[in-house]
Amino acid sequence: MSKTDKFAGQKRIGFRLYLITDRHIVKDGDLVAACEAALTAAPAGSVALQLREKDLPARELYELALRLREICTRAGAPLIVNDRVDVAIAAGADGVHLPFDSIGVSMARKLLGPGRLIGVSSHSPPDVSGAAREGADFAVFGPVFDPLSKPATGPGWGASGLAAACGAGAIPVFALGGITPERARELFASQEPTGQPAGVASIGAIFASDSPALATAAMLSAIDASSRRR
């Protein structure tokens, strides 16, 4: 079964790199500028941006979402808001990303309607299969390796664990945790088609870098080069 057949009936997930914000690790402290640099370095539709600033009050998060909405629109990138369905709707975001302990996919869908995307965090292959059954559009799976931007909360799953997660449900899966361009090449090259991720999710590799634009271009190049070899 090809990946196209596997995802039949799912919303089109065209992006290959899923950027997740963390303003605390941006070198010069300017998250908006870092997001703009990263997105303008990528072809339209190849990157999505998740606004994940859990410690911001609702008003500040909403105002930040509005600024990123403008940038994402110009760059042709979906804007996803972590957890806060209300902020996502108010800011005109393209969807929400639900942490593992958030409200369920079905409740989020009732609030968002059918058109917006719902991503889910997963930490085991059964989590992915459960998210697929509940109607999530995609899942982020990790940690695959020890994270670059924060201490590890448990052992990494490695390539074999990622392959199991990708095969667990009929939704695209993005690999998260310690993914560098070199590791992205290795992961894509080592997997059979049904065990390959849809792409990579990244925090530290992009936002903690000296140049988010160059880091984004390098990660996409690694993913695309691996895809051409398959």
Cα 142 from Cα 147, distance rounded (Å): 9
Q: What is the pLDDT of residue 147?
A: 82
User: How many structural domains are present in the chain?
Assistant: 1
Tokens matching residue 124:
């085991």
Average the pLDDT over 145-163 and give the result: 82
3 state DSSP class of 19: strand
Pick 147 or 21 by higher pLDDT.
Answer: 21
Q: What is the pLDDT of residue 1?
A: 44
Average the pLDDT over 180-201 and give the result: 85
Q: What is the pLDDT of residue 148?
A: 76
Pick 192 or 94 by higher pLDDT.
Answer: 94
Cα 146 from Cα 142, distance rounded (Å): 9
pLDDT at 128 over 80: yes
**Does a structural domain hold residue 220?**
no
pLDDT at 4 over 50: no
CATH number, position 55: 3.20.20.70
**Does a structural domain hold residue 121?**
yes
pLDDT at 196 over 90: no
Q: What is the pLDDT of residue 26?
A: 98
Tokens matching residue 126:
């059964």
**Does a structural domain hold residue 7?**
no
Cis peptide before 143 (omega within 30 of 0): yes
Q: At what angle do helices 58-75 and 31-40 cross, to 10 degrees?
A: 20
Q: Are 31 and 23 in contact (CB under 8 A)?
A: yes
Cα 138 from Cα 172, distance rounded (Å): 5
Q: Are 36 and 71 in contact (CB under 8 A)?
A: yes
Q: Can you give the residue range of the structural domain that contains 179?
A: 14-215
24-35 pLDDT, tens digit per residue, is 999 999 999 999
**Does a structural domain hold residue 109?**
yes
Q: What is the pLDDT of residue 151?
A: 66
Tokens 């709707």 belong to residue: 89
Q: What is the CA radius of gyration of the chain?
A: 16
Residues with Cβ within 8 Å of 224's Cβ and at least 6 positions away in sequence, in order, are: 16
The three-point CA angle 146-50-208 to 5° equals 50
What predicted TM-score, i.e. pTM, was given to this entire model?
0.92
Name the residue among 75, 74, 99 with its Cα closest to residue 176: 99
Q: What is the pLDDT of residue 59?
A: 97
**Does a structural domain hold residue 55?**
yes
64-119 pLDDT, tens digit per residue, is 999 999 999 999 999 999 999 999 999 999 999 999 889 999 999 999 999 999 99
Position 35, amino acid: C
Phi and psi based region of residue 169 (left: phi greater than 0; alpha: psi -120 to 50; beta: remaining): beta
